[in-house]
Structure 1
Amino acid sequence: MKLGIIGTGLIVKDFLPELVKMKGLEIVSIMGSPTGYEKAEALSEQYGIPNAAHDLEELFGAGIDTVYVAVPNNMHFMYCKKALEAGLNVIVEKPMTDDAGQAESLAALARKKKRFLFEAITTVYMTGYQKIRKWLPLLGDIKLVQSRFCQYSSRYDNFKKGIIAPAFDPKKSGGALMDLNLYNIHYVMGLFGKPESISYFPNMERNIDTSGVLMMLYPDFTAVCTAAKDCGGDSGGIIQGTNGFIRTEMTPNKVGAAIMQLRDGTVEVCQELYAEKRMIPEFTEFIRAIDEKDYEFCYGMLQKSLDVNEVLNRARIQAGIKFR
């Protein structure tokens, strides 16, 4: 994979130290915002990236085959569309887009162009999550599911003063639902599929949800997804069935160690291998799929992303959160 990166924000700075070490991946070019060339240039020098691009034309012409889109949520659709139209594969940071219709159009374009389109959602690729999937049938009938992602945002104090970062800006499709609760939703839907109905109960400030609870109703149980950027608290998840439960105790983007305890006394623990290097499992799969031309895997994961995007859309509309 010859990768070009669009974005110079925190997620890129967090992932770059590990990305540059990955086998089968060469970072060829990086581009920032129209006014952020200096940041791209600094990162290119720091990590030995050959090209710091001034614009898309330069990025796309740098010999790349795949683009990693890591910009504010409201810009995902534009950059993904342009990359796919240029014949490139796309890895886009979560959420895929801020609108379900836009996500569907990107998926259709990827299939038409026979290109790969992945949403970078770490949860479903983590070691612990894969073990949970294998353990799930042992729990019997599922009765209750909870997933929690709560952390006091480093940007919240400024937000209260009126200094609005993209993660809190409705004009940039921010908020707790799109930033954090999305991980909870992927956690639940990756195991149980689409719910029959949903209800979203947000705490609203300055026209954006700073925290909220999403209830997802399934035929035989209810899942509760809680996310907060305005307060701290325990994060993790628990799946409870008639035969026992599975528990995780880290934020769902990392999953962490998974523990299964059954009524017959069985206890099993799966340690998470990549909790602090959470991009490694997902990018390992992205590289493999593209190298092996595994479109079936890609488009299967893409459909799951579309299903989650639809739930996000319904929850946002239900709560009256407007991005445009």
Structure 2
Amino acid sequence: MFFFTSQQQYFKSPVSTVVCECQNKVNMQAVSRLDYVSFGIIPFFAYRITRCYECATCGHQQDNIQSDKFIPCYQIATKFVGLMILVTAMLLFYLQYQYDKNLQKSIVETPQVNDFYLIDYSLFRQESYYQKQFMVVKVIAADSSHIAVQLANYRYQRKNQVIKAIKLDNLIKPYYFSKEIEQLKRFRVAELFEQGVIYQALRAEGLTLFGGIVEMPSRPEPLYKGFKPNKANQDGVYFYQQGLFADAFEKFTVAAEQGDMYGQANLAALYRDGEGVQADFAKAFFWYQHAAKQGHKQARIELNQLCSNQVQC
């Protein structure tokens, strides 16, 4: 059990220059007593030193002695261990408090998307009747002069309940924040922080605060995005299969001009075979050449055949 108690420590040394009333000179000793306060087993601080001569035979004491025998300095210093620990702890606490305060001030002065402010709602709304209501405010946009924020739909009567809500991942739940967006001037936000209306400014580290998720991670890009066919080319293939060559020619022309290599190869085939358009080997060569440059294997084969048929290459 820890409690404050008063303790004493004695320091004794023999002396031969003093004679007791009992005429005993051999067993005289100088006694120094150090009184100190301890907290449990930890010495906290020393508050008094007394000295006297004491006879070891009869126990008689003589006060107000003049002796060079005294308590070692390190023994006195050790009695202030508890006080030094307390002062050190208070200093560390103060330095941590100043660091946190400056960090929060920098967050307020340089707002970013997904910063969070914990506010006293009654003071924020300047209500005539004050009620203890605390909530989370989320920054969704910021520029050089204004900050766009969303207020939570939930209010709490105690500050620790706000922290608990963050730890339980409530901030990522649907409808936790209001859909309404409020615009605040940046200098006004700084004033609210100085006034204690914003009593804590937070910036997520790795999408989390106090161990709770406050922002959903973005989905990674798929390693394979798949083949995305050109719509105009697909329509052209449909019309061609239905025997509507003129319509197919229009769609393949659109796809080819959009840079789709399949549309270019199909348009070249129509020019080569004269389907839906008058045969034109030069244009067929032109579009086969564009498709081949993009890696269309069949277009390369058709291009070689056109060249073997004495079309200009």
**TM-score of the two chains, using structure 2 as the length reference:** 0.17
**TM-score of the two chains, using structure 1 as the length reference:** 0.17
Q: Could you say which structure has the larger radius of gyration?
A: 2
